[in-house]
Copies of this chain bind each other. A is one copy, B any other.
Amino acid sequence: MSEGEPRRSIATVCLSGTLEDKLAAAAVAGFDGVEIFENDLVASANSPVEIGEYCRDLGLSVDLYQPFRDFEAVPPAQLADNLRRAERKFDVMEQLGTDLVLVCSTVSPTAVDDDELAAEQLRALAERAAARGMRVAYEALAWGRFVNTYEHSWRIVRRADHPALGVCLDSFHVLSRDGDPALIRTIPGDKLFYLQLADAPRLDMDVLQWSRHHRLFPGQGSFDLTTFAANALEAGYAGPLSLEVFNDVFRQADPRPAAVDAMRSLRLLEEQLGYPVAEPAPQLSGYAFTEITADVEICPSLTRTLGDLGFAHTGDHHTKPVQRWTNGTTHVLVNTDVSGNGGPESGTAGCGAAIGALAVESADPPRSARRAEAMRSPILARERGPEEAGLASVAAPDGTNVFFCDSGAADGWSSDFRGAGAQPGAGLGITGIDHVSLTQPFDHFDEAALFYRSVLGLEPEEVAEYAAPFGMVRNRGMADAGGSVRIALNGTLVRRGEWAPVVRDPQHIAFACTDVLAAASALAESGAPVLRIPDNYYDDLDARFGLDAALLARLRAHSVLYDRDGHGEFLHVFTELFGDRVFFELVQRIGNYAGYGVGNAPVRMAAHRRNRMTANGR
């Protein structure tokens, strides 16, 4: 924790593994404290004393113990049992070394709707807690039987009027019910005992199921957590910003990257709250280059196709087996050193080729790198030769390298390349990279969106879902404010099993093109491997849009796909696959079409599968 920054905490329930796994991951990610979830402790072979010591060794405070359920507004006999139960938990807290327990509003069928009784019993609990130097944070569950708004929990706490009793605010419980966070400012800061932060996608479903399965880290969902947290801070809340996220995917994912994702989400939120956690993201102005890592077997067909696309081989890296291919000012690097580039999931292992790196033009590359580091992105160490350009780069969650470039600088990335004699290619109307599409590893979809948002300042669009031939797919476009850098993230709704593994985790570079029909015609003449789209698609297009017959005939003849939305039209054409996952696309946006043609993705996927099966002789 730096000065001027808040304390950061995370509930163990956010992460997968044993309690010890979770604590270690939280510490490595830089959290200051944890909320210990009872179930995690109960399953541990380490005693509460040992866990408390382990936390302190890791530099973590135990900020909260939770949950304590169904305490208040019960008949007297039940109260005695509940107080006995509480004393046992105070024992555990004492051993852990924490003084704060979370009490959730009751859902018990034996409780009664009586605020006076609830206040009286919570006061009795607070009295017991105070006698042991402890405090009680009372939280309104969104599905609490009688108390399900924070205003109501505060009325009861105020009525109980005990210094050891305050409220816990959980953003999910408030915002899932469209609660007004402005009223938080009416609660005295010293009665705000704890602040739990969780985001979520806006779903129309039972709030308990929504809460238990679909919470997200801040910045990954639809909630306005900035306003929520700002209200608590303005009210004088002085405790940690703590994450409490129940999510089916995070619960089973490696806790180490998940904890980093969590930390990144908090830092982005803090920035929005005005804390000086990072320098602002420099303005972007497009892609400097993209780099494809390819086996030497795949490289020839890949570069031949780049040639078909109007790219020329304009240089070779002076120390590495990397070719530069250029069309106008658009660059694609082809790297045949498949040993080190990218993480294991982005590597070419077994798939022939992969997109190893994206490079964006930054107005201030060193600042971009400092921001990335502040946002907890792994800075990639580079062996830099004496004459090599100082390229700053970080690793995205899927292992893709992200470079920050200033191509205009004298020591820009291009200075590492020695001319191969060729002038930049031209033709086919390619004007740049429209977007790069990357299929994310199942566990990292939401993490990836947050990464590109926090590191590059790209804004995520709505998630679109579609039925692909081998399962449901989701797609989320991200773009900078000027639309100069676009990334399309893709992922499956269910982690892929053994069935239909032919084309796994597709990735592609989509080049912006001024006339896709003309380009597709030229590609056909040059014998380029254009992906063949079946007639059925065009018959359906005709039925749906009633296109001009001549246009439809040209689309059909050249396997160009078509889409239309309220803002414009979209023409696009694909190549076949290079290896098992990489291909190219040419796209033409007419008017203000803002999408990625995802409605056509199932057709493309089926075509790539046929293409692959034919190539493999199956």
Binding site for B on A (CB under 8 A): 13, 16-18, 38-48, 81, 84-85, 88-89, 91-92, 203-206, 209, 213, 248-249, 251-255, 442-443, 467, 469-472, 492-500, 532, 534-537, 539-540, 542-544, 546, 602-603, 605-607, 609-610
Let me know if B546 and A17 touch, CB within 8 A: no
If the complex has contacts A85-B544, A209-B204, A543-B89, are A443 and B497 also in contact, measured as CB distance less than 8 A?
A: yes
Please tell me which one of the listed residues B39, B88, B203, B467 contacts residue A543 in the complex, with CB atoms under 8 A apart: B88
**A81 engages B546 (CB within 8 Å):** yes
A206 and B209 within 8 A (CB): no
Contact of A539 among B88, B534, B602 (CB under 8 A): B88
Q: Closest CB of chain B to A500's CB: distance in Å?
A: 6
Residues of B within 8 A of A41 (CB): 536
Known: A205-B209, A467-B251. A602 touches B39 (CB 8 A): yes
Which residues of B lie under 8 Å from residue A497 when comparing CB positions? 252-253, 442-443, 495
A249-B205 Cα distance, complex, nearest whole Å: 20
CB distance from A202 to the nearest CB of B (A): 11
Asked whether, in the complex, the Cβ of A251 is within 8 Å of the Cβ of B42, the reply is: no
Which residue of the partner chain, among B203, B536, B610, contacts A206 with CB atoms under 8 Å?
A: B203
CA distance A38 to B543 in the complex (A): 12
A42 lies within 8 A of B536 (CB):
yes
Knowing that A43-B606, A252-B500, A254-B499 are A-B contacts, what are 4 other residue pairs whose CB atoms are under 8 Å apart, sorted by A's residue number? A16-B469, A16-B470, A88-B542, A252-B494
Q: How far is the CB of A453 from chain B (nearest CB, A)?
A: 24
Q: Which of these, B16, B92, B249, B537, contacts A500 with CB under 8 Å?
A: B16
Is the CB–CB distance between B543 and A252 below 8 Å?
no
- Which residues does chain B contribute within 8 Å of A39, judged by CB atoms? 467, 602
Q: Are A252 and B471 in contact (CB under 8 A)?
A: yes
Enumerate chain B residues within 8 angstroms of A605, measured Cβ to Cβ.
43
Query: Which residues of B sit under 8 angstroms from A42, Cβ to Cβ?
Result: 534, 536-537, 540, 603
Complex: chain B residue closest to A495, CB-CB: B495
User: Contact: B205 with A469, CB < 8 Å?
Assistant: no
Residue on B nearest A206 in the bound complex, by CB: B204
Expressed in whole angstroms, the Cα–Cα distance for A111 and B208 within the complex equals 36
Q: Which chain B residue shows the least CB distance to A603? A: B43
Shortest CB–CB separation between residue A235 and chain B, in angstroms? 32
Cβ–Cβ contact B606 & A18, under 8 A? yes
Nearest CB on B from A108, distance (A): 14
Contacts of A45 in B (CB 8 A): 532, 534, 536, 606-607, 610
Determine if B543 and A43 form an interchain contact, defined as CB atoms under 8 angstroms apart.
no
A9, chain B: closest CB distance, angstroms: 20
| Residues of chain B with a CB closer than 8 A to A544's CB | 85
Query: Which residues in B have their C-beta under 8 angstroms from that of A496?
Result: 252
A43 touches which one: B84, B205, B442, B536 (CB < 8 A)?
Answer: B536
* Listed A/B pairs (10) with beta-carbon separation below 8 Å: A17-B499, A85-B543, A85-B544, A88-B539, A92-B539, A203-B209, A248-B471, A248-B493, A251-B494, A253-B499
